[in-house]
Amino acid sequence: MSWANDNLVVSPEYQLNPSLQGCFLPADLEWLDNFQQHPHPLDSLSWSAPTPEKPAGDIQQQPQTQTHPSILSRPSSPLAIHGDIGNYIKTTRTSNHRVYPITRSRREAMQAEVNSFCPNNVLPSSAALSSFIHRYFRSFHQHQPFLHESTWSPDEAPTPLILAICANGALYSLERVVAADLHQVAVVMINKEDADVWVLQTVMLLMAFSAWGGNPSDLGTALQLHGRATLALRKSWSMPTREEPPIADWEIWRINESLKRITYCLFTLMALIHIAYDIPSTIMLEDQHGMPCHESQWWAATSNEWMDISAKIPARQWISAEAVVQRLGDETLPTPSNIGMFGCHVIIMTLLQKIIQFRRCCSSEQSGFSVVRQHFFQVLKRWQRMWESEPDASLSPDHPHGPILFNCTAILRVAYIRLVADFSPIRATFVFSSTTEHIETRIEGLQNLTRGSQTTRAALQACLALRIPVRLGFKVVARTSFWTSPKSGRSV
DSSP string for 271-336: HHHHHHH----S----GGG--PPPHHHHH--SHHHHHHHHHHSPPP---SHHHHHHHHT-TTSPPP
Distance from C-alpha of 462 to C-alpha of 404, rounded to nearest angstrom: 19
Long-range Cβ pairs for the range 89-94 (8 Å, 24+): 89/398, 89/399, 89/400, 92/400, 93/400
Instruction: Say what the pLDDT of residue 475 is.
Output: 53
Of residues 162, 168, 243, the one with CA closest to residue 209:
168
133 vs 212, residue with greater confidence: 133
Per-residue exposure over 346-376, b if at least 16 CB sit within 10 Å of its own CB, e if not: bbbbbbbbbbbebbeeeeeeeeeeeeebeeb
Residue type at 406 in one-letter notation: F
Query: In the 8-state DSSP scheme, what is residue 333?
Result: S
- pLDDT tens digits for 243-272? 555 556 899 999 999 999 999 999 999 999
- pLDDT tens digits for 95-113? 446 778 999 999 999 999 9
User: What value does the mean pLDDT take over residues 40-66?
Assistant: 36
Distance from C-alpha of 282 to C-alpha of 267, rounded to nearest angstrom: 8
Across the chain, what does the average pLDDT equal? 75
Would you list the DSSP string of 384-402?
HHHHHHSTT----TTSTTH
Of residues 124, 133, 123, the one with CA closest to residue 101:
133
For residue 66, is pLDDT > 70? no
Distance from C-alpha of 309 to C-alpha of 294, rounded to nearest angstrom: 9
For residue 127, is pLDDT > 70? yes
Whole-prediction pTM: 0.75
- pLDDT tens digits for 174-199? 899 999 999 999 999 987 667 789 99
Distance from C-alpha of 24 to C-alpha of 381, rounded to nearest angstrom: 8
119 vs 39, residue with greater confidence: 119
Distance from C-alpha of 154 to C-alpha of 166, rounded to nearest angstrom: 11
Instruction: Say what the pLDDT of residue 278 is.
Output: 85
